[in-house]
Structure 1
Amino acid sequence: MELPLVLLVLTGLCAGRILEPVPYTPQITAKSLEGKLTATTFTLDQPLCIFDQYVNSTDDIWLVVAFTNATSNFKNPTSRVKIPPYQGLSTALHYMTLKTSIAFYPCAESRAASVLRVGSDTSCKDDRSREFCNGPLTSPGPYRVKFLILDSNGSKAETRWSQQISLKQGRRASAIDTWPGRRSGTMVVITSILSSFIGVLVILFLCTAAYECYKLWRLEEAPAPEEPPAEAFRGRQYDTHHIPPSQAPPQPPSDVPRPRSPAASL
């Protein structure tokens, strides 16, 4: 029983540093979140209270993202200068991102709702100076991920690889079936009613427009009113028969002397 252990140790010494296994498997979050899986991103549960006994405050915690068929060929970097960048994903089929420290994964119940969104940073996808770029994933995968702990001497501890993660894929326009026979009966009825309603509205609009045009045409065709003759505006003389004509007052007799005025007597 001791020989296999010795062989394992010797093999590990020949191959490099033996990594301490962390009993944790990354997984897609089970929380009810929108966009947990998109065409370029996926969301993991944050590993809270997982690395406390494996990590020092000066160690770095990385997330390794690799195509499923490339996990067996992935070699843990022996130093920080050999960390595979995001820009090499298309050729190396793996990269490392989300560099952080143990302070980001505290053992606290208040952070239970925290998640990690992989592929959410679009600003660094062409910037090779960003060693921890969390750029969008350009392929639907499938992918597998694991957490890797590095210290000043290289890789120190690692978690298990996750299950396969496949991103959402958009459907090609040519693959979408637009034949009405594939639609449900309710959809066909609703479409027919809406089409008929729109047709009625169009007919009413045309009838209203035609009626307004007809009224304008009638106004233009109507003859101009004739001007009344000038005699119509001349004044007319009315004889008021019901009022007797006024008579001149009676004259006094000629033999009656007229009274003299006071001025005349002086």
Structure 2
Amino acid sequence: MWDSLQYLNMQGHWAVLTLCWLGQLCVALNLRPQIANPKLATSNPTLTTIALEKPFCMFDDSLSPGSSYEVYLYAMADSESTVSSAVTDNSSKPLNTTFQDTNGGQLGPYRAALFNVPNCASPPMLADVVNVKKVSDVLKQYLFRVGDDVTCLYDPNFPGACNPPLAQDTTYRFKYLLVDVNAGVVKDQTLWSDPMKTRRVKQSSTIDTWPGRRSGGMIVITSILSTLMFILVAGFLASLYFIVMAPEEAVTETRHESRTTEQGAPRSRGNSEVGNQ
């Protein structure tokens, strides 16, 4: 039952996007950032990143001809006050809070990224995902990965919004803003997203190994057996060595004795001859 509901929800979401791309339905007020389709972003979320769908067709009704716009993405660690947290000041200007200012989103929302408004009239062709030459461009147009920049926190001259790795095993919410670049004010915004949680590191004792999960005792037994097998193999090789080398040493000793006997024989004959004389 739950799988069926999830399937219907996903189908409904794609239907909304399709209608947006056709220019028939674009209402940002009732929309919110969505986690990326698992077919396009596998292993999502990761330990430190969450991939989101870009806001295609969400803000078309708020766009005015001749104006320049950008999309701001805000992130915040989920709490009871997140859904009521504002991302603008009293003059409708977007907050300039950073990752450092908010302790990674724990104290409030921070601006994680800004990018151009996705082109609703010319969206990426999802069928091109199977094309190796086009898949990278399609994913860049369609997705944005929060937490994908591992260097901006350590670069004092980093331009723009810093998008550092997220905390592991932490729940976040996200919000898109449409900002008029010329006026510097927010023209529209989405709701806060549903909670999205990063993964946590698995403990070594919980990791399954082929052909089945092994406990610490089994690992110790396996190590002991491996050591004994090594000793047996070493002993077998040593025995082969002595078996092969022993005959050669025996032959050497035999030759040495035979030469000694041959040298002693003439001396005994010489002594007998002197006695006879």
Q: TM-score, normalised by structure 1?
A: 0.61
How many angstroms apart in 2 are the aligned matches of 1:26 and 1:127?
29
Q: Return the match for 1:59 from 58, 69, 72.
A: 69
How many angstroms apart in 1 are the aligned matches of 2:178 and 2:193?
16
AA in 2 matched with 1:156: K
Q: How does 1:7-156 map to 2 (within 5 A)?
A: 21-32=28-39, 33-56=41-64, 57-69=67-79, 70-71=81-82, 72-77=84-89, 78=91, 82-90=95-103, 92-102=107-117, 104-112=118-126, 114-127=142-155, 129-151=158-180, 152-156=183-187
Aligned length: 202
Structure 1 vs Structure 2: percent identity of aligned residues?
Answer: 19
Deviation at 1:37, TM superposition (A): 0.8
Deviation at 1:184, TM superposition (A): 6.4
Question: RMSD in angstroms over aligned alpha carbons?
Answer: 3.8
Q: Which has the higher helix share?
A: 2
Tell me, yes or no, if the aligned pair for 1:47 and 1:105 is still in contact at 8 Å.
no
Deviation at 1:74, TM superposition (A): 2.8
Deviation at 1:116, TM superposition (A): 1.3
Q: Secondary structure at the match of 1:146?
A: strand
Tell me, yes or no, if the aligned pair for 2:77 and 2:108 is still in contact at 8 Å.
yes
Pick closer, same or farther for the CA change 1:86–1:177 going to 2, 3 Å. closer
AA in 2 matched with 1:89: T
Q: Secondary structure at the match of 1:148?
A: strand
How many angstroms apart in 2 are the aligned matches of 1:143 and 1:177?
26
How many angstroms apart in 2 are the aligned matches of 1:140 and 1:197?
38
Deviation per CA, 1:194-249, whole angstroms, max 9, x where unpaired?
Answer: 9868855652442122220343244234315235979xxxxxxxxxxxxxxxxxxx
Deviation at 1:23, TM superposition (A): 3.2
Unaligned runs of 5+ in 2: 1-26, 127-137, 264-277
Pick closer, same or farther for the CA change 1:109–1:73 going to 2, 3 Å. closer
How many angstroms apart in 2 are the aligned matches of 1:165 and 1:39?
12
How many angstroms apart in 2 are the aligned matches of 1:153 and 1:196?
71
Pick closer, same or farther for the CA change 1:194–1:122 going to 2, 3 Å. closer
How many angstroms apart in 1 are the aligned matches of 2:155 and 2:144?
21
How many angstroms apart in 1 are the aligned matches of 2:154 and 2:107?
16
Deviation per CA, 1:124-171, whole angstroms, max 9, x where unpaired?
Answer: 023455331111113532111110112224222101111101110114
Q: Secondary structure at the match of 1:35?
A: coil
Tell me, yes or no, if the aligned pair for 1:48 and 1:107 is still in contact at 8 Å.
no
Unaligned runs of 5+ in 1: 1-19, 231-266
Deviation per CA, 1:9-49, whole angstroms, max 9, x where unpaired?
Answer: xxxxxxxxxxx953322111223232311111011122223
Q: TM-score, normalised by structure 2?
A: 0.59
How many angstroms apart in 1 are the aligned matches of 2:236 and 2:61?
83
